[in-house]
Amino acid sequence: MAVPVAALAAAATACGTSGGAAKSDGAAAPHRPAVPVAAATSPSTSGAGGTIATATVGNLGKVLVDGQGRTVYLFEKDQGGKSSCSGACAAVWPPVTSTGKPKAGSGANASKLGTTSRSDGSTQVTYGGHPLYYYAPDAGMKGSAKGEGLTQFGAGWYVVSADGKKVEKSGS
């Protein structure tokens, strides 16, 4: 039994981020937990409650954005307030999720805000009955709307107006 315990102790020491040796009492050196990959690479979480507001984005006028000014989208394939985007779709179009009740920021209508349960158990923010998404190529940049008017994963993607309707580009 001594070999497996020693192997575990060596593995624990190797996983530490301090680069130092294990303590003389055999305990592994403390280390910081790793940041989850999804949190580091995707703007898919709008925080405890999340805020949805409006901002002027390019030639689209005032559209919905999150609390950091990141553009959000609706997916025309969604029906009955439920998301039709998961797996590969959600990798390109991450859902706007929340761990609490979303809040209406400047220009947004609180009565249009809601949530829906996703197949993975997370809670997605809705507006006017539409589940909301980010577009990964926007890279979380304030004012970017590269996903506007695209047709991907079987339907169209559009930014959303304060009245909860899709916004279509004026002139292509």
- Kindly write down the DSSP assignment for every residue of 43-65, as one continuous string: --B--SS-EEEEEE-GGG-EEEE
Residues 57 and 115 in one domain: yes
Residues 94 and 15 in one domain: no
Paired strand residues for 103: 51
Paired strand residues for 133: 73, 95
- How large is the average pLDDT for residues 118-132? 97
21-56 pLDDT per residue, tens: 333 344 443 333 333 333 333 444 445 568 999 999
**pLDDT value at residue 50:** 87
Is 109 a domain residue?
yes
Residues 80 and 100 in one domain: yes
**116 to each of 27, 76, 102, 158, how far by Cα in Å?**
45, 16, 11, 19
Residues 126 and 46 in one domain: yes
Residues 17 and 66 in one domain: no
Residues 3 and 66 in one domain: no
Residues 97 and 158 in one domain: yes
Q: In this structure, which amino acid lies at residue 121?
A: G
User: pLDDT above 70 covers what percent of the chain?
Assistant: 70
Question: How confident is residue 169, by pLDDT bands cut at 50, 70 and 90?
Answer: confident
- How large is the average pLDDT for residues 115-124? 96
User: Dihedral of the CA atoms 21, 27, 28, 29 (nearest 10)?
Assistant: -70
Is 172 a domain residue?
no
**Is the Cα torsion angle 85, 150, 63, 128 positive or negative in sign?**
negative
Q: 104: domain range?
A: 37-167
Instruction: Phi first, then psi: give them for residue 112, nearest 5 degrees.
Output: -90, -10
Residues 23 and 79 in one domain: no
Burial class (CB in 10 A: 0-12, 13-18, 19+), 5: exposed
- How large is the average pLDDT for residues 119-142? 96
Residues 24 and 92 in one domain: no
Is 96 a domain residue?
yes
Residues 128 and 139 in one domain: yes
**pLDDT value at residue 117:** 97
Identify which has the larger pLDDT, 169 or 77: 77
What pTM, to 2 d.p., does this model score? 0.73
The number of domains in the chain is: 2
Q: Where are the alpha helices (DSSP H) in the chain?
A: 2-15, 37-41, 88-92
Residues 114 and 142 in one domain: yes
Is residue 64 predicted with pLDDT exceeding 70? yes
Residues 106 and 67 in one domain: yes
User: Dihedral of the CA atoms 142, 65, 100, 133 (nearest 10)?
Assistant: -90
**pLDDT value at residue 48:** 53
